[in-house]
Each structure stands twice: as C-alpha cells, then as structure tokens.
Amino acid sequence: MAVPKRKISRSRRGNRRSHDRLRVRSLSPCPQCTEPRPPHRVCPHCGAYRGKIFTEQESVS
C-alpha cells in the first residue's frame, strides 16, 4: 500500500479542495413576468421561454 512520505500542508490540501464548494445558483429575470428564473430554462412562474408559452397555468379559485 502506498504511504505518503510527507504530510500534505494545509495550503496544498486547501488548493485541492478549492473546487468542492457549493455554488450560488444564478438567476436572471424573466422577460415576460420579471420573476427570477434559472437561465436557459422555462420560467416556473409564467411558463414562458424565449417568447413562447410552454406550460398551461391553472387558475386556483
């Protein structure tokens, strides 16, 4: 079994783990309803994407 010859310093360990962080989801405003939505996705609020409606919104009464 391979055993390291030297202890890995905190700096090297941190550099290796630098990509393991959580990322903030980017949101862009919907041009139809101006609600925040993920880019390149159908708007969950109004159902529009690139000027077209893709989902039917049910009216709640």
Residue 57 pLDDT greater than 70, yes or no: no
Give pLDDT tens digits for 16-42: 999 999 989 899 999 989 899 999 999
Percent of the chain with pLDDT over 70: 90
Name the pTM for this structure.
0.53
Residue 36: φ, ψ to 5°: -70, 140
Q: How far is CA 43 from the centre of its chain?
A: 14
Q: Is the predicted pLDDT of residue 61 greater than 80, yes or no?
A: no
Q: How confident is the model at residue 53, as a pLDDT?
A: 85
Average pLDDT, the chain: 88
State both tokens at 29.
């405003």
